């Protein structure tokens, strides 16, 4: 049986620049997970920073370089859920969490993307996490089960139910989203 590779992890333990290389290698995955969970740039950056800090503290516990990626996904997912739970008990909204006026994402169809994003954000936490990990991270169902700690059959059920909920809500887009012809 082949030995598992710990080259990145061992290098990061010995050298700060190697740890920076790990961050660069995984930063888009970590940030996009957090951003797609909250749709907030600042919050996604904060959660990514917390995940990297926790990674630094736990480098000695990682078994291999492959384990590193899965560990980061799991950590970011848990930090997103924990933050969301803490927010339920807050009575006010800090200024840092308020979106900047005039901020618009550049997407193919911003009206449709915003409407879909709102519907995904309205899903329960577990359904939202499973959808993000499946379609944004393109993880297999078994990998999602590993990352979230949810049994595989429950992941399948959550994915099926969340897609069914979205399908019924998206069917109404034809009446909700109106497109005006461009002026000539």
Residues 72 and 142 in one domain: no
Whether residue 121 is found in the same domain as residue 82: no
Q: Which of 103, 131, 166 is the last residue of a domain?
A: 103
pLDDT value at residue 181: 47
Q: What angle do the packed helices 41-57 and 16-38 form, to 10 degrees?
A: 140
- Cα 120 to chain centroid distance, Å, stands at 12
Residue 108 clears pLDDT 70, i.e. is over it: no
Single pTM value for the model: 0.54
Q: pLDDT digit string (tens) for 64-97?
A: 777 888 899 999 999 999 998 887 776 666 677 6
pLDDT tens sequence across 15-51: 778 788 888 888 999 999 999 998 889 999 999 999 9
- Interatomic CA distance for residues 46 and 69, integer angstroms: 19
pLDDT attached to residue 10: 67
Is residue 65 within 8 Å of residue 12, measured between CB atoms? no
Comparing 25 with 12, which gets the higher pLDDT? 25
Find all residues with CB under 8 Å of 175, minimum gap 6, and list them: none
Q: How many domains does the chain have?
A: 2
Looking at the fold, whether 95 and 112 belong to one and the same domain comes out as no
Range of the domain at 113: 107-184
Q: Which of 76, 103, 130 is the last residue of a domain?
A: 103
Model confidence over 112-150: pLDDT tens digits?
A: 777 788 888 888 999 999 998 998 888 999 999 999 999
Cα separations in angstroms, 120 against 55, 103, 112, 114: 29, 20, 12, 10
């Amino acid at each position: 049986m082949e030995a598992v590779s710990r080259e990145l992890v061992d290098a990061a333990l010995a050298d700060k620049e190697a740890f920076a290389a790990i961050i660069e290698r995984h930063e888009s995955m970590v940030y996009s997970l957090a951003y797609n969970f909250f749709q907030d740039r600042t919050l996604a950056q904060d959660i990514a920073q917390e995940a990297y800090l926790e990674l630094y503290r736990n480098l000695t516990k990682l078994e291999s370089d492959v384990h590193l990626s899965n560990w980061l996904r799991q950590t970011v997912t848990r930090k997103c859920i924990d933050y969301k739970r803490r927010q339920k008990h807050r009575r006010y909204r800090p200024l840092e969490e308020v979106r900047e006026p005039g901020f618009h994402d550049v997407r193919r169809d911003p009206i449709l993307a915003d409407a879909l994003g709102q519907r995904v954000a309205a899903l329960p936490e577990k359904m939202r996490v499973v959808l993000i990990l499946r379609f944004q991270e393109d993880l297999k169902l078994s990998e999602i089960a590993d990352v979230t700690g949810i049994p595989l059959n429950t992941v399948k059920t959550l994915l099926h139910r969340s897609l069914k909920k979205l399908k019924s809500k998206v069917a109404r887009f034809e009446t909700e989203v109106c497109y005006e012809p461009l002026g000539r």
